[in-house]
Amino acid sequence: MNKEQFFKNKNILITGGLGFIGSNLAIGLVNAGANVTLLDAMISGHGGNLYNIEPIKKDVAVNFSDIRDENSMNYLVRGKDYIFHLAGQNDHVLSLTDPFPDIDINIKGSAVLLEACKKFNKDVRLIYTGTRGEYGSTVTLPVKEDASINPKGIYELSSLTAQKLFKIYNDNHKVKSVTLRLTNIYGERAQMQHHRFGVANWFVRMAIDNQTIKVFGDGSILRDFLYVQDTVDAILKSACCESAYGEVFNIGVDKPASFLELTKIIIELTNSGNWEFAPFSPERAAQEPGDFYSDITKARKILGWEPKTDLRTGVGLTIDFYRKFKKYYW
C-alpha cells in the first residue's frame, strides 16, 4: 500500500501544525485523504503563519492551544490514529540566554502530550522530530545513529530529553513512537523574519532583498541541507512503517555542501545579492558543532526513504515560492 492510500480517512493531529514543517506535512496528509487537526500556539518568533495552510484551510481543523495545556491535550489526543509532534522551541540563540522556554516547551510540553496519550489514547502512533544537534561535535563523518551524543546547547539537550521521554513511554507504557533526527531543513513555508534559526532560508531572503549574505568563518563548514518535501516524505514513511516504532532515524543527506557552496547557489539562482566572510559571533561560535552530515543507511533500509531533491533544485523551488508569496513572510 502506498502512503497516499495508507493515510486515507485516518485521524491525524499535528502539533506545531501552522509552522514550517508541520504545515507542509499537513498539506501532504490532506492530499492523501486524511482528517487533519492542527494545533499551534502561534508563539512569537517561531514559524506559525496562517498563510502556510492557505491551500488546505477549508480542509483542516485548527486549534489554537498550547501543548503545555493538559486539558487541551487530554481532549485533542482522543480518537487520533497518528500524532506528529512538531511544536517546539527551536530558537538556538535564545536558548543560550534563556533556557526556560526549551525546558518548558520541549521537555514539559512533550511530557504533557505523552501523558495525555497514555491516559486517553494508548493505541495512537507518535512521530517526534528531534534534531541532529543532539549529537553535538562529531568525530566520524557521516554520523550514524549510534554515534556519541554530546549536545552543545540547551535546545539540543531539550530535544534529546524529549526523545528519551518518547522512548520511555514507548518501552514502559506501550505508547508507540518513532524519533527522527532532522538535519538542516530548508524550503517553502519557513519563517523569514529573522536569522536565529533556518540559515538556508535566511540566505534566500537576503539574496532576494539584494543584501549581503554574511558567511561565517571561511564558509567551509559542511552541512547536509535537506529540502522540506523530502523531509515530509521521511516523516510520512516513518509513520507508515510498523518496524520503525521504538527506533531513532537520521533524516538528512549524505552528500553535504559547504555554507559557501550553498551561498553561491542562492546568489546564482536569485541573480541578486552578494556575500562576504564574517567572523562568528560569540553565541554562534559557542554552538557551532563543525562539519556535520548524516549517515542515512538506516532510513534507507527500514523506511525505504531517500532524499530526491538536490540542493540546486530545492533552492530554486524555495526562491520561486518566496518571490511569489513574499508579502506573507517578510
Ligand X SMILES: NC(=O)c1ccc[n+]([C@@H]2O[C@H](COP(=O)([O-])OP(=O)(O)OC[C@H]3O[C@@H](n4cnc5c(N)ncnc54)[C@H](O)[C@@H]3O)[C@@H](O)[C@H]2O)c1
- Count residues near ligand X (CB under 6 A): 31
Is 28 an interacting residue with respect to ligand X (CB under 6 A)?
no
Is 215 an interacting residue with respect to ligand X (CB under 6 A)?
no
Distance CA 27, CA 49 (A): 14
Report, in Å, the least distance between residue 270 CB and ligand X: 21
Is 18 an interacting residue with respect to ligand X (CB under 6 A)?
yes
Among 12, 13, 14, 21, binds ligand X (CB under 6 A): 21
Contact 43, 106 (CB under 8 A): no
Distance CA 174, CA 261 (A): 45
Tell me which stretch binds ligand X (CB under 6 A): 71-79, 82-90, 262-270, 277-285: 82-90
Among 60, 92, 109, 203, binds ligand X (CB under 6 A): 109
- In single-letter form, the type of residue at position 270 comes to T
Among 88, 256, 273, 307, binds ligand X (CB under 6 A): 88
Is 250 an interacting residue with respect to ligand X (CB under 6 A)?
no
Is 66 an interacting residue with respect to ligand X (CB under 6 A)?
yes
Contact 41, 65 (CB under 8 A): yes
Q: 292-321 mask for ligand X (x: CB under 6 A)? A: ------------------------------
Q: Within 10 A of 195 (CB to CB), how many other CB atoms are there?
A: 14
Is 260 an interacting residue with respect to ligand X (CB under 6 A)?
no
Q: Which three cell numbers stand for residue 226?
A: 535537506
Is 40 an interacting residue with respect to ligand X (CB under 6 A)?
yes
Among 35, 90, 121, 270, binds ligand X (CB under 6 A): 90
Is 112 an interacting residue with respect to ligand X (CB under 6 A)?
no
Tell me which stretch binds ligand X (CB under 6 A): 41-49, 71-79, 210-218, 271-279: 41-49
Is 129 an interacting residue with respect to ligand X (CB under 6 A)?
yes
The enclosing H or E element of 170 equals: helix 154-172
Query: How far does CA 232 lie from the centroid of its chain?
Result: 9
Helices (H) and strands (E) in the chain, counts: 13, 13
Is 114 an interacting residue with respect to ligand X (CB under 6 A)?
no
Say whether 326 sits in a helix, a strand or coil: helix
Residue with cell 525505504: 304
Report, in Å, the least distance between residue 44 CB and ligand X: 8
- Pairing mode, if any, of strands 222-223 and 257-258? antiparallel
Q: Within 10 A of 59 (CB to CB), how many other CB atoms are there?
A: 16
Report, in Å, the least distance between residue 148 CB and ligand X: 19
Tell me which stretch binds ligand X (CB under 6 A): 1-9, 44-52, 114-122, 168-176: 44-52
Report, in Å, the least distance between residue 50 CB and ligand X: 10
Distance CA 4, CA 264 (A): 36
Q: 170-209 mask for ligand X (x: CB under 6 A)? A: ------------x-xx-----x------------------
Q: Which residues pair with 83 in a beta bridge?
A: 13, 126
Residue with cell 554520523: 143
Whose CA is closest to 249, among 165, 146, 168, 164?
146
Is 105 an interacting residue with respect to ligand X (CB under 6 A)?
yes
Distance CA 300, CA 279 (A): 37
Residues within the interface to ligand X (CB under 6 A): 15-16, 18-22, 39-43, 46-48, 66-68, 86-90, 105, 109, 129, 131, 182, 184-185, 191
